[in-house]
Amino acid sequence: QKEVEQDPGPLSVPEGAIVSLNCTYSNSAFQYFMWYRQYSRKGPELLMYTYSSGNKEDGRFTAQVDKSSKYISLFIRDSQPSDSATYLCAMSALMNRDDKIIFGKGTRLHILP
């Protein structure tokens, strides 16, 4: 079993819809959970960063972590064509420069105008 599983998509939704992106993981030591957005041929950009379980909201984005189920989600409200990108979940046990961040494969998202 891979440490982090993420459906690669592509996921196509109409503009204005709510998007739900998810990852599952196997390592119970993970405590820090991140979502990155990556546009084609660009480096990843950090969107959301959550510690342990719970929800975190930032504008149209909401990150949820359920450590008991080893399941994390990213919700995008009022989706826009500019949200079209690949979204990578990532996680680590510690959050210091000595610890590795493990990435999911990324989900390609297309927002249809």
Partner 1 sequence: GAVVSQHPSWVICKSGTSVKIECRSLDFQATTMFWYRQFPKQSLMLMATSNEGSKATYEQGVEKDKFLINHASLTLSTLTVTSAHPEDSSFYICSAPTSGSNEQFFGPGTRLTVL
Indicate the residue among 88 and 111 with the shorter CB distance to partner 1. 88
CB 88 within 8 A of CB 36: yes
CA distance 5 to 24: 5
Quick one: which of 15, 45, 57, 78 contacts partner 1 (CB under 8 A)? 45
User: Per CB under 8 A, which region of 56-64, 66-74, 75-83, 97-105 contacts partner 1?
Assistant: 97-105
Adjacent-strand bridge partners of 107: 87
Adjacent-strand bridge partners of 54: 65
CA distance 91 to 102: 5
> Does residue 43 belong to the site contacting partner 1 (CB under 8 A)?
yes
> Does residue 21 belong to the site contacting partner 1 (CB under 8 A)?
no
Secondary structure letter of residue 3 according to DSSP: S
Q: Closest separation between CB of residue 31 and partner 1, Å?
A: 12
Q: Which residues bind partner 1 (CB under 8 A)?
A: 4, 6, 8, 32, 36, 41-46, 49, 88, 95-98, 100-101, 103-106
